Structure 1
Amino acid sequence: MKKLTVFLASTAAALALAGTAANAERATDGDLKILFWQAVSTLNPYLSGGTKEIYSSSLTIEPLARYDQTGTLTPWLVTEIPTVDNGGVAKDMTSITWKLKPGVKWSDGTPFTAEDVIFTWQYCTAPDGGCAQKAQYEGVKSVEALDPTTVKVTFTEPKYYPYSAFVGAQSPIIQKAQFKDCVGAKAPGCTSANFGPIGTGPFVVKEFKPNDVVTYVANPNYRDAAKPAFASVTLKGGGDAPSAARAVLETGEFDYAWNMQVEPEVLATMIAKGKGKIETAFGTQVERINLNWFNPDPALGDKRSTKEAGPHPALKDPAVRKALSMAIDREVIDEVGYGEAGKPTCNIVPAPDIYISTTNDWCLKQDIDGANKLLDEAGWKKGSDGIRAKDGVKLSFLYQTSTNSVRQGTQALVKDWWQQIGVASELRNVAASVFFGGDPASPDTFQKFYADVEMYTNNFDGTDPEKYLAEWLCDKIPSPANGWQGQNIPRYCNPDYDKIVAELAKTGDLAKRAELAKKANDMLTAEGAHIPLIHRGQPSAISNTLAGVNMNAWDSELWNAADWSRKK
């Protein structure tokens, strides 16, 4: 496939230079070089659930509020965080009112208004729109402008944690003027907008080569006249995690490399070169194996991995789902692949402390004998080849993940452990730029899930898990109807689970919210929507010449790029 090159701001560089002349501190530190070994495929995070798309777009488009490095909710495009005490949140918890900062402009110089906020909600919730972040707007009844700088969000019922829509890197505001003709089924076809969203952030997209490189220049209309310090950003994609780490820590070619999923001993050797460091922030990332609840048999054609395909012939058995988890030694995976940047876990919600469940801690101890016994009792008998079968169905699975040495190492370990319980697995890895790319035409995306099991990591913005837990609602399952962009990747559906999440949304007491969140978390693990493996830190490589980086596991790692500068 030919690379598409889109020139999105032909006068952006000139405008940036003009801004530099007027404001000596802006754009004086040259080019900031960032490396994502998982290349970026779109700059519209509403059309991809991939972290690389969320982070790369956060340099240009922003939410109303976001979380800082401590997990504290912070005003961004608004004057303050609405609360009941300041009158911003209704006493009955049915609405929240945001006051936009005065004078904020889009990078094209036009005013940022309440109409853009309203449009963003309409865009993501439009029928057939395939919005990958639809869970962020769960429970929103309406969004209205009280005046050009005041937005009122009304909920379908009392919402005791109202900071979901328009909060965090997964829910940024897009410009109505740019995207007004890109609503619903038209969304994926708006290449120019998707590859170069006009934003309020510190940088403007100059050129984008999908799955390769993004170049940005300083936004001449950024609200702080002294920022950003860098005149431009080059965000290069591709390669692998070790080579990305090496480019910062050994050769010094790049300033920042995201997602250093590299064996601990390899990183230690690189750090010894003295050119950079690894900084790790623990938030809510969990490396997990998703189990496909729908039948992915290729013989089913377009119906595979959809509701029409019917339940998975083997994974529909709870005994199989539990045995797969019991056979895994999470301590070994952590020791070999993560070291101090990981912790074994049985939870999909691993933090903050108030939400950590201990109900599923049985999974922390590998139990090969117990897994074999469970499968024996469930009627899965070993054949002459050592593989279990029942009613003509074999326990033989296609196990896919993205291309990465740590993940391939984990695959090899899991394959061996599953073989010890009579389960065969075919290992497959897909280039990360494709796997996480969200292209509805590709058969290889993690959303399409044309496999039996697949492994990756995911997390949620901020410290409250409500909108994250909403991702496993029945109506969030990816399908052709939503462009394969639903967030419920395992295709798990339980009306009782939906009721728990609905109750969480209307519960105000923090202790009760924690109880409900744990209950939802426990149901997902106990019923086998997925197999949690490792609570991952977020390690990134940072050059010793770079200043101002505040590692953030609760939002985009690039959240404060406007404050980054070159050490003098």
Structure 2
Amino acid sequence: MKSWTSFLAAAAVATALSLPAFAARTDLVIGIPLEPPHLDPTAGAAAAIDEVLYANVFEGLTRIGPSGEVLPALAESWDISEDGTVYTFRLRSGVKFHDGSDFDAEDVKFSLDRARAEDSVNAQKILFEAIDSVEAVDPATVKIMLKHPQGAFLYNMGWGDAVIVAPESADTNKEKPIGTGPFRFENWAKGASIRLAKADSYWGEPAYLDKVEFRIVPDAAAAVPALLSGDVQAFPFFQPDGVAQIEGDPRFRIEVGATEGETLLSMNNKKEPFDKLQVRQAISYALDRQAIIDGASAGLGTPIGSHQSPASKAYVDLTGTYPHDVARAKELLKEAGLENGFKTSIKLPPPSYARLGGEIIASQLREIGIEAEIIPVEWAQWLDQVFTRKDYDLTIVSHTEPNDIDIYSRKDYYFNYDNPAFDKVIAELNLTSDEAKRNELLGQAQKILADDAVVGFLYELPKVGVWDAKLEGFWKDAPIQANDVTKVRWTD
């Protein structure tokens, strides 16, 4: 009996040793509120494109890290000439695109020349304006000559708009994106989800996850049940009005971080009566920022008085420039010859911060005699009517691109703002690499925008992340518009 028991025990140990160790889960479903209009980061302004593809599928010469730092990506290192006009990038070896083709210096030259070409459709074409020429020295070396020094050049090369694409697949990336990242595109079920799979040939550290699905969940009413049921395990950009229903549940982790999302009541500065400074100032005084934050963002968000993230070292608190003051707002309208107010319209894209914020702002404007008709629009309409054709009076949108105060110097930008003094500051900023001097210039730029009341500066959009407590590797902050899942994994 004793020997038989010993035999069974030994057999059990042998069986246990022969079984594979328990493997952590390797699939993930992420909820995203907006579906991208297409899947090419180099051909569209919608943040939803980068939120799926940045760092996951596509890579640039550099990349922006979770703290906003510039990190090597397809370029493993670089040298900068003493005068700051020549950048020599040494590229990583053994890199392949997801279709099996080799990555080399010619792909970099093609991508940058394409982005800055006269017929370029790149939404951030201005990022490449300083480039004079691009030379593929050899397959592993690229030399970029600038027209003048550009202090933010390495940072600019880390934007989603600057990712490297191959000439063979560039024209089809909108529907079938082919990059060099740790995940490859697998499927896009329009209106439902986008699926990625681990790229087995990835040059760098492989991702922990084998499958990632980005599922379109447009509102908190649907997001909360999806989380509670386990159908969706993470919402890196969760809508604030759903947080109260998740708080206190030990199955989930909630992290509130900072973004680069300046939320604005944009005004068409060349359209009457918004071409008058007193009118823009009156609107700014009419805005009760805290009430807007409470009603449209569940109390989450930091008030701003100009176009800079409070998380930035260059941030200047200018919220006191236009405190909520209905009486002063009415005085300014009277000075503008509009004592009896006027009628206008406000076009609102789909996000809840815009739709809810629009209702609150319309009510606040009504207090000073401005009747704002609310016009809900879908993103495609907003991009066409507002962003491209400038066919609008007022609108609400969060500008989530990083360090983008220079947009106010762009003559074709939808604000229709033109101030030579501001342009001069931005021109000097572009030539400056010293951090202290850059911060000083950024402070000057913020002050000019506040004084000119170019837009109604509302608040910095919070990044509210909610995910399964067993997940780790998500970014707390959002220095760039991305859902980087390259380091995300299940802990058990």
Q: Secondary structure at the match of 2:240?
A: coil
Residue in 2 that maps onto 1:428: 375
Aligned-partner residue type, residue 177 of structure 2:
P
- Normalising by structure 1, we get a TM-score of 0.78
Q: State the distance in 2 between where 1:345 and 1:550 align.
A: 23
User: 1:42-441 maps to which residues of 2 (within 5 A)?
Assistant: 42-58=38-54, 59-80=56-77, 82=78, 88-179=79-170, 190=171, 192-224=172-204, 227-248=206-227, 250-263=228-241, 266-293=242-269, 311-338=270-297, 341-359=300-318, 361-363=320-322, 365-382=323-340, 388=341, 395-432=342-379, 434=380, 438=383
Aligned 8 A contact 1:474 1:494 in 2: no
Deviation of residue 495 (structure 1)?
Answer: 3.3
Deviation of residue 460 (structure 1)?
Answer: 3.2
Deviation of residue 449 (structure 1)?
Answer: 4.2
Residue in 2 that maps onto 1:469: 405
Once the two structures are overlaid, the 10-residue window that deviates more, 55-64 or 446-455, is: 446-455
Q: State the distance in 2 between where 1:127 and 1:356 align.
A: 34
Deviation of residue 120 (structure 1)?
Answer: 1.3
Deviation of residue 326 (structure 1)?
Answer: 0.6
Deviation of residue 176 (structure 1)?
Answer: 2.2
Q: 1:472/1:144 Cα in 2 relative to 1: closer, same or farther (>3 Å)?
A: farther
Q: State the distance in 2 between where 1:245 and 1:453 align.
A: 32
Aligned 8 A contact 1:89 1:96 in 2: yes
Residue deviations 1:274-316, cap 9 Å, x none? Answer: 33222222132211111113xxxxxxxxxxxxxxxxx312111
Q: Which runs of 5+ in 1 are unaligned?
A: 1-23, 83-87, 180-189, 294-310, 383-387, 389-394, 478-487
Q: State the distance in 2 between where 1:33 and 1:238 align.
A: 11
Q: 1:318/1:129 Cα in 2 relative to 1: closer, same or farther (>3 Å)?
A: same
Aligned 8 A contact 1:241 1:404 in 2: no
Q: State the distance in 2 between where 1:367 and 1:460 align.
A: 31
User: 1:526-565 maps to which residues of 2 (within 5 A)?
Assistant: 526-559=451-484, 561-565=485-489
Aligned 8 A contact 1:135 1:471 in 2: no
Aligned 8 A contact 2:64 2:155 in 1: no
Deviation of residue 201 (structure 1)?
Answer: 0.8
Aligned 8 A contact 1:138 1:470 in 2: no
Residue in 2 that maps onto 1:14: none
Once the two structures are overlaid, the 10-residue window that deviates more, 46-55 or 447-456, is: 447-456
Once the two structures are overlaid, the 10-residue window that deviates more, 320-329 or 330-339, is: 330-339
Aligned-partner residue type, residue 267 of structure 1:
V
Q: 1:340/1:89 Cα in 2 relative to 1: closer, same or farther (>3 Å)?
A: farther
Q: 1:358/1:567 Cα in 2 relative to 1: closer, same or farther (>3 Å)?
A: closer
Deviation of residue 371 (structure 1)?
Answer: 0.5
Aligned-partner residue type, residue 423 of structure 1:
I
Q: State the distance in 2 between where 1:71 and 1:165 align.
A: 12
Residue deviations 1:29-87, cap 9 Å, x none? Answer: 4432111121122111222211111121222111222222222221122223x4xxxxx
Q: State the distance in 1 between where 2:127 and 2:320 align.
A: 29
Q: 1:34/1:320 Cα in 2 relative to 1: closer, same or farther (>3 Å)?
A: same
Q: State the distance in 1 between where 2:481 and 2:317 align.
A: 29
Aligned 8 A contact 2:307 2:446 in 1: yes
Aligned 8 A contact 2:304 2:318 in 1: no
Deviation of residue 269 (structure 1)?
Answer: 2.1
Aligned 8 A contact 1:242 1:260 in 2: no
Q: State the distance in 2 between where 1:370 and 1:251 align.
A: 51
Q: 1:53/1:448 Cα in 2 relative to 1: closer, same or farther (>3 Å)?
A: farther
Aligned 8 A contact 2:347 2:392 in 1: yes
Q: What is the aligned-residue identity percentage?
A: 23
Aligned-partner residue type, residue 553 of structure 1:
A
Q: 1:448/1:251 Cα in 2 relative to 1: closer, same or farther (>3 Å)?
A: farther
Q: 1:353/1:54 Cα in 2 relative to 1: closer, same or farther (>3 Å)?
A: closer
Aligned-partner residue type, residue 565 of structure 1:
R
Deviation of residue 517 (structure 1)?
Answer: 1.4
Residue in 1 that maps onto 2:392: 451
Aligned 8 A contact 1:174 1:197 in 2: no
Deviation of residue 327 (structure 1)?
Answer: 0.3
Deviation of residue 324 (structure 1)?
Answer: 0.6
Q: State the distance in 2 between where 1:362 and 1:332 align.
A: 17
Residue deviations 1:490-514, cap 9 Å, x none? Answer: 1223333222211111123322211
Aligned-partner residue type, residue 474 of structure 1:
R
Matched, 1:31 2:27: yes
Residue deviations 1:342-375, cap 9 Å, x none? Answer: 1111121124443112456222x20100010111
Deviation of residue 317 (structure 1)?
Answer: 0.9
Q: Secondary structure at the match of 1:520?
A: helix
Q: 1:548/1:161 Cα in 2 relative to 1: closer, same or farther (>3 Å)?
A: closer
Q: 1:146/1:341 Cα in 2 relative to 1: closer, same or farther (>3 Å)?
A: farther
Aligned 8 A contact 2:302 2:310 in 1: no
Deviation of residue 447 (structure 1)?
Answer: 4.0
Aligned-partner residue type, residue 97 of structure 1:
T
Aligned 8 A contact 1:69 1:552 in 2: yes
Q: State the distance in 2 between where 1:242 and 1:431 align.
A: 19
Q: Secondary structure at the match of 1:284?
A: coil
